[in-house]
Amino acid sequence: MVLVPILMKLADRLRFLDIPDERKVHVAVIPRVGGIGIVSGMLITLILWINIDSTLRIVFAGVGLLSIFGMADDRCDLDYRLKFLGQFIAALIVVCFGGIVIHRIGLFGIESIPDWIAYPLTVLFLLGTTNAMNLSDGLDGLAAGLSVLSLACIAYLAELANGEEIIAVSVTIIGAVLGFLRYNTHPAVVFMGDTGSQFLGFSAGILAVLLTQQVNTAISSALPLMILGLPIADTLLVMGERLARRVSPFKPDRNHFHHKLLALGFDHYESVLLIYALQALFIALAYFLRYESDLLVLAVYIGLFMAIAAFFPLAQNLRWRVHALTYQRKSLLTRNIEILSRKRWLEKAAYQWVRLAVPVFLLTGILAKSRIGMDLGLSALAILMLWFMAALLHSPLLVMAERLAIYSCVILVIYLVVANDPHPPRIYGYFPNFLIALAFAVGMGIRFSTRYFTVTPSDFLVLFILIVAGNLPVYSEVHYARMLADAAVVLYGVEYLLRYKDTPSLILRFSAITTLSAATLRSLL
């Protein structure tokens, strides 16, 4: 998030620019430096964070070489043969020197395959994943979102087998991508370029092989197909169509999945969201089929692939287009919703519910807890003092101090609710349903608000991952994923309130002060 704006300022001078043409959907010149920020953010973080073993050093070497070719392509538009050469050498490095090899395939009773098959097969797989993610990078936030879903799945499946190194690498790349998505959500102000898309596909392929071949060998070895499901399917379909037309499979065109969705009348926002949803389906199937046979995983993947392949020709033959039909006669429900929306009753009802629900949640959560740790109490006291000092001094940082205090209250209460407690307050059992109602109210408020609110596909992506992660089984004392999912719902509520009135309401301020004060007193007493 810090590097990308700096790189954007240098893009024109360094000639890292994406010029529009007939294949692309954007119409303005866009800096193509996001990939440099993603790779740099990942490498710097991992070097500072974990001990780098020999395998990771080899992976870094492969990533470095691939990034050099990627940057050259982003600057000069390399011939596809030179790009492919760079990908091939990078794959050879990690396979031959890093020991990242597909040796185990559970098809037709084959337990292991000889090196003379395993090495070329792994190189071919890594080339496939690298180009699949590269070719899927056609809409704002698309390749980044797909890679986040795949890496989140890899991280969780590695957590089941204590694969700490894979978790560290996966989560670090996810963090780097989310920092980039801050600027790449539609309408994007920066692109990742081939440097980023090739890196994401290459890294996801390597991590998928390590996961299934070394870290968690109990899961199906065919699972990488599901984990990288939609990008691989899109690449196979596009290259198959090109070969059928007797043109080079590497010749660019507008036959990718996202291009076809746009041609059917879906807008940019809807296309990205729909592709996220399809990739989420592949990820869900990867989770549920993780311990099934390779043959079943392969059969399910082929079935989905054929359904996707049949959809577009069928839609074209039927001349079906989304948004094409306008209905003169609207249903009673639709008419009533439109009336309520025009009179702003839905907007007002949602706002009033959220305005009361967030303070009630904070006060109930903190007052129901009998004991609070000293560390939490002292943290609450420090935040409270900072808020009061900013108010007394009429500091320009008062707005920031208020937001910090309110956000901290949310995290504090969520932590107390989710933390492992042998005797939790009975009222905590009602909180999950309460949060569902709050999420619905926030969604209604944003949907029918007459003020300026934007909910991007990236918001849906992050919420989807948090909600799913919050409901997956974990084996630690605190369910941190559930804590993040619950916190996201309440924080969206807080943000909705703050944007609706620009400043915190009196009841929100009162509940934050009471929450912080109660946490301080209960920790001291």
DSSP string, 240-289: HHHHHTTS-TTS--S-SHHHHHHHTT--HHHHHHHHHHHHHHHHHHHHHT
153 close to 121: Cβ distance less than 8 angstroms: no
Spell out the domain ranges in the chain. 3-317, 332-524
Rg (CA), the chain: 25
Two structure tokens written together for 53: 């073993």
Reported as half-sphere exposure (CB side, CA atoms, 13 A), residue 433 has a value of 4
pLDDT at 263: 83
Of 38-47, 176-185, 332-341, the range with the highest mean pLDDT is: 38-47
pLDDT at 456: 75
Lookup result for tokens 């098809």: 107
Whole-number average pLDDT of the chain:
85
451 vs 287: which has the higher pLDDT = 287
List pLDDT tens digits, range 477-499: 667 777 888 888 899 899 888 88
List pLDDT tens digits, range 154-179: 999 998 888 889 999 999 999 999 98
Of 23-37, 80-94, 338-352, the range with the highest mean pLDDT is: 80-94
Lookup result for tokens 């407690």: 421
Average pLDDT over residues 297-313: 91
- Residue 519's SS3 state is helix
Lookup result for tokens 């991007």: 456
Nearest-CA neighbor of 189 among 326, 52, 9, 49?
9
Other Cβ atoms closer than 10 A to 470: 21
497 close to 354: Cβ distance less than 8 angstroms: yes
pTM listed for this prediction: 0.81
Q: What is residue 188's DSSP assignment?
A: P
Alpha-carbon span 158 to 54, nearest angstrom: 20
List pLDDT tens digits, range 125-142: 999 999 999 888 878 888
Peptide bond into 187 cis (omega under 30): yes
Phi, psi for residue 496 in degrees, rounded to 5: -60, -45
Chain center to CA of 207: 17
Percent of the chain scored above 70 by pLDDT?
A: 91
List pLDDT tens digits, range 355-370: 999 999 999 999 888 7
